[in-house]
Structure 1
């Protein structure tokens, strides 16, 4: 059981110490195919991916619950102390992974701020806290919102969730709910408009055939 959970002992060591094989049992064409596949896998491992793909769910709540269930199952297998709030850990994992996928240049600059900062860092002014950061009127999520990528599946799920919570009231109400929920999207109006254009409920009720109101009797002054 322990071997199935954690794998062989050498997999936890440095990749330099991993066992190697010359693949003499394979023919030359098959050896080339296998080595190219291993190279492709090694390169793709540098891309950060969530434990559960964003595209598998159409609602944010279901994605968070599935990710939280994965963390619970992982802690159970590894005999770790379970987290007190797995949903919160799932949210942190999903949003942090999304930011690492979208804002690679910004993360590289924040880790090593030597060159000129990217445009997004200049626009958001990440290193300065204005007067709003000194107030206690607003919650922490409003003062320090989570930055979302404009073109990302998780952003669409967040916007759809805010759109449902505000009862499909339109672009302005959804945008306000998005910001009050502690999220910030560059060019957010265009992102919200794109998501709302796919809303089946809004299409169903907003595309009804127009009917003229019933005519009433004219007043006595015009009789």
Structure 2
């Protein structure tokens, strides 16, 4: 259920999904309705250019509301992909809990007659509390969802009991000691897995070959540490104020910190939805840092050491943005 706040509150639409299978047996079905509503809202605002004063999404499923407020990568791919899209198109604070007895969608899903539907005020106008001030709406107390089947197996509360995994505070893999970016990442990934296995119950330990998500996590951890060493004040300003100082070397890049704590650049390409995420929001790399040197060296190797500066820049721009890049690449 979605309502838009104007001078007179109103229900914009009610999305009802029916299934021949009991919905509580398939948590994936619950997230689909929310994904459809978030996508419709995004299209309304960005393509049709409708302007709403305020939009609220109502769900009676605590699982979905908990997922929307969580980290998408903590769940299995089906749910994670949709949670990521929902979080990109809406703000988690827009999602609120509606009691089952006040949910108009249940009127259809539980069966009713045409005659009853004609006179059902909740179906046509929504719950009565929408006509009142927001302070009198139901308390939005989001409790942890009861379904854990959609969580990845390596995400366990056991880790929280031991303590959070934070490699950044005590980094032992010095990039200066490595001549290959790929080798550094793989060793870091194995170190992360070893620590995770030590903190996990033996039934959930992983011994197979490295997965893509483990390599990606290790890579982002190394880059994040390099950024923290080179731009500590800028990252602090972004987290506290949302902007960097006017004298910062990053001021012209419109930087932002993503959900992984990685510093990224935003620009006109961020508006082109057809491009990959890394192209729209390239990772900012500091100049003259060992991590940057290893990454540039990797692309020099891809170019067989004969590619010019422009070609190396075009390859790097698919994911990275180096400060003073045209000076950095010839230097290496």
* Bigger proportion of residues as helix: 1
Aligned: 1:54 with 2:175: yes
What's 1:123 paired with? 252
Structure 2 counterpart of 1:170: 308
Q: Match of 1:19?
A: none
> Aligned-pair distance for 1:56?
1.6
- Cα shift at 1:131: 4.1
Give the aligned partner of residue 231 of structure 2.
103
Superimposed CA distance per residue, residues 145-177 of structure 1 (whole angstroms, 9 cap, x where no aligned partner) = 010000100000000001111222122211211
- Residues paired across the two proteins, number: 149
- Cα separation, partners in 2 of 1:130 and 1:123, compared to 1, 3 Å: closer
SS of corresponding position for 1:147: strand
The Cα offsets for residues 43-67 of structure 1, whole Å up to 9 and x where unpaired, read as xxxx955341111210100000110
Unaligned runs of 5+ in 2: 1-162, 257-264
In 2, Cα distance between the equivalents of 1:194 and 1:116? 28
Which of the two has greater strand per residue? 2
- Say whether residues 1:88 and 2:216 are aligned partners: yes
TM-score in terms of structure 2 length: 0.41
Give the equivalent residue in structure 2 for 1:150.
287
Change (3 A) 1:63 1:191: same
Residue 228 of structure 2 contacts residue 235 of structure 2 at CA under 8 Å; is this kept in 1? yes
**In 2: Cα distance, 1:115 partner to 1:60 partner:** 29
Matches of 1:130 and 1:178 in 2, distance apart?
16
Counterpart selection for 1:74 from 187, 195, 209: 195
Q: Distance in 2 between matches of 1:187 and 1:106?
A: 17
**Equivalent residue of 2:187, what SS?**
helix
Aligned-pair Cα RMSD in Å = 2.6
**Residues 78, 48 of structure 1: CA spacing in aligned structure 2 closer, same or farther, 3 A cutoff?**
closer
